Chains A and B, each alone.
Chain A
Amino acid sequence: DTGVSQDPRHKITKRGQNVTFRCDPISEHNRLYWYRQTLGQGPEFLTYFQNEAQLEKSRLLSDRFSAERPKGSFSTLEIQRTEQGDSAMYLCASSLGDPQPQHFGDGTRLSIL
Chain B
Amino acid sequence: AQSVTQLDSHVSVSEGTPVLLRCNYSSSYSPSLFWYVQHPNKGLQLLLKYTSAATLVKGINGFEAEFKKSETSFHLTKPSAHMSDAAEYFCVVSATNDYKLSFGAGTTVTVRA
Contact A44 B103 (CB under 8 A): yes
Q: How far is the CB of B49 from chain A (nearest CB, A)?
A: 5
Q: How many residues of B contact A (CB 8 A)?
A: 24
> Among the listed B34, B43, B90, B96, which residue makes an inter-chain contact with A106, where contact means beta carbons less than 8 Å apart?
B43
Contact A99 B41 (CB under 8 A): no
Q: Does A21 contact B (CB under 8 A)?
A: no
Known contacts A98-B97, A101-B34; is-contact A109 B41 (Cβ 8 Å): yes
Contact A91 B41 (CB under 8 A): no
* List of A residues within 8 angstroms of B27 by Cβ: none
* List of B residues within 8 angstroms of A48 by Cβ: 99-100
Q: How far is the CB of A54 from chain B (nearest CB, A)?
A: 12
Known contacts A41-B106, A42-B106, A101-B49; is-contact A107 B101 (Cβ 8 Å): no
* List of A residues within 8 angstroms of B49 by Cβ: 101
Query: Of all chain A residues, which has the CB nearest B48?
Result: A101
* List of A residues within 8 angstroms of B105 by Cβ: 40-42
Q: Which of B76-105 contact A (CB under 8 A)?
A: 90, 92, 96-105
The complex places the Cα of A41 from the Cα of B103 at a distance, in Å, of: 9
Q: Does B12 contact A (CB under 8 A)?
A: no
The complex places the Cα of A95 from the Cα of B92 at a distance, in Å, of: 16
Contact A103 B46 (CB under 8 A): yes
Query: Of all chain B residues, which has the CB nearest A98?
Result: B97
Q: Which of A8-66 contact B (CB under 8 A)?
A: 31, 33, 35, 40-45, 48, 56
Interface residues of A (CB under 8 A from B): 4, 6, 31, 33, 35, 40-45, 48, 56, 91, 93, 95, 98-99, 101-107, 109
Excluding A42-B103, A56-B99, A103-B46, 9 further A-B contacts by CB distance (< 8 Å) are: A6-B43, A35-B101, A40-B105, A41-B105, A42-B104, A98-B98, A98-B99, A99-B32, A101-B46
